[in-house]
């Protein structure tokens, strides 16, 4: 069982959205943007473990600074899908809600020259 979801995430670095791909599988969740990839691996009776690039770093490369909880939210979504609490359609709907929130935060970042030097 595999669910693939494309999410349009706004990149201030480029001034447009980029497509991030979320692949939900029973044993892993992979989040990628072109060649960059973060992967969350299922481990029985333990917390999942993240491998590859840090999700935060992939987003920061596009000048996206997600709240600290963002990675936990996508992990919760994957575990809910994996556990049968939500189906593929619901997973896409709920992921899009989180992406809408992330895009709102990203678009609302300070725009003065002072902060523009920082991020």
pLDDT digits 0-9 by tens, 72-113: 999 999 999 999 999 999 999 999 999 999 999 999 999 899
User: What CATH number is attached to the domain comprising 29?
Assistant: 3.30.2210.10
Q: Does 53 score more than 80 pLDDT?
A: yes
- Mean pLDDT across 59-71: 96
Token pair for 12: 């201030």
Token pair for 97: 């809600």
pLDDT at 119: 76
| 44 Cβ contact list (under 8 Å, min separation 6) | none
Q: From CA 107, how far away is CA 3, in angstroms rounded?
A: 28
Mean pLDDT score across all residues of the chain: 96
Domains of the chain: total: 1
Full residue range of the structural domain in which residue 27 is found: 2-116
């Amino acid at each position: 069982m595999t669910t693939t979801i494309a999410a349009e995430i706004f990149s201030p670095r480029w001034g447009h959205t980029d497509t991030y791909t979320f692949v939900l599988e029973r044993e892993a969740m992979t989040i990628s943007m072109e060649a960059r990839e973060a992967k969350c691996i299922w481990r029985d009776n333990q917390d999942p473990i993240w491998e590859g690039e840090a999700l935060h770093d992939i987003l920061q490369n596009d000048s996206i600074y997600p709240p600290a909880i963002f990675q936990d939210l996508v992990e919760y979504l994957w575990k809910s899908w994996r556990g049968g609490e939500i189906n593929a359609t619901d997973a896409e709907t709920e992921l899009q809600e989180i992406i809408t929130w992330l895009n709102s935060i990203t678009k609302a970042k300070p725009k003065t020259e002072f902060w523009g030097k920082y991020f």
